[in-house]
Amino acid sequence: MPHCASKGAGRRGVHYLRRGLVMSEKSNEACWYVVHTYSGYENKVKDTLEKSIKSSNMQDYIFDVRVPVEEVSEIRKGKRVKSTRKVFPGYVIVNMIKTNESWYVVRNTRGVTGFVGPDGQPVALTPSEVEMMLNPQSVGTACDLAIGESVKIVSGSYANFKGTVVEIDQMLGKVLVNVQMFANRTGEVWFNMEDVRKDEDEE
């Protein structure tokens, strides 16, 4: 969807003042705007806003509500699984024609804390920003390990050896482990994430 698309607007030339925000209704372009929400309420805000759009008959002004997500590959207990996660926690994006009515409907949705922009005034996203938010690039592989955590190697030539996580490379899906070897010697070795699990004996 383009950054801003011309749509047929309703009343024009009307200015609206609310808490120092001056807004003109003469624009008839639908643009994408970022809305800040309470963390963890993104999907709830989306659902509530979509219902408000219908009940307020604002379908001709507010066209789409998105919670940007991406698909990631995670390592859980040594197994690779695919899941989705929010790209920008605490934010949703809304495609709408900016009028006093559309601003009011969005701003007064339960869980919304305001628009992203100077003094809470909605600022349209640029085409590149829209592309980044709607089509995020994968950041690699996520895992349930943490630096400094005790782990156990579960496959390969180091199977059953234990060690401590030194570094995590999510882009490559690898973990650097300081492995406890023979005669109290240690050595740092890179492993695939699926070959490493939390050491349950240490929990």
Q: Give the tens place of pLDDT for each residue, 90-118.
A: 999 999 999 999 999 999 999 999 999 88
What does pTM read for this prediction?
0.58
Among residues 85, 114, 134, which one ends one of the domains?
134
What stretches of the chain show up as alpha helix (H) in DSSP? 42-55, 100-107, 127-134
Verify that 149 and 124 share a domain, yes or no.
Answer: no
Which domain CATH number covers 14?
A: 3.30.70.940
The token duo for 145 is: 């390990």
Q: Range of 62's domain? A: 4-134
* Contact yes or no for 150/164 (Cβ under 8 A): yes
Are residue 120 and residue 25 in the same domain, yes or no? Answer: yes
Q: How confident is the model at residue 45 (pLDDT cuts 50, 70, 90)?
A: very high
The domain boundary, picked from 102, 119, 134, lies at 134
**Region of poorest pLDDT, from 50-54, 65-69, 82-86:** 82-86
182 and 103 both lie in a single domain: no
Based on the domain organization, do 163 and 97 belong to the same domain? no
Task: Using a pLDDT cut of 90, give the percent of the chain over it.
Answer: 41
Confidence of residue 15 (pLDDT cuts 50, 70, 90): very low
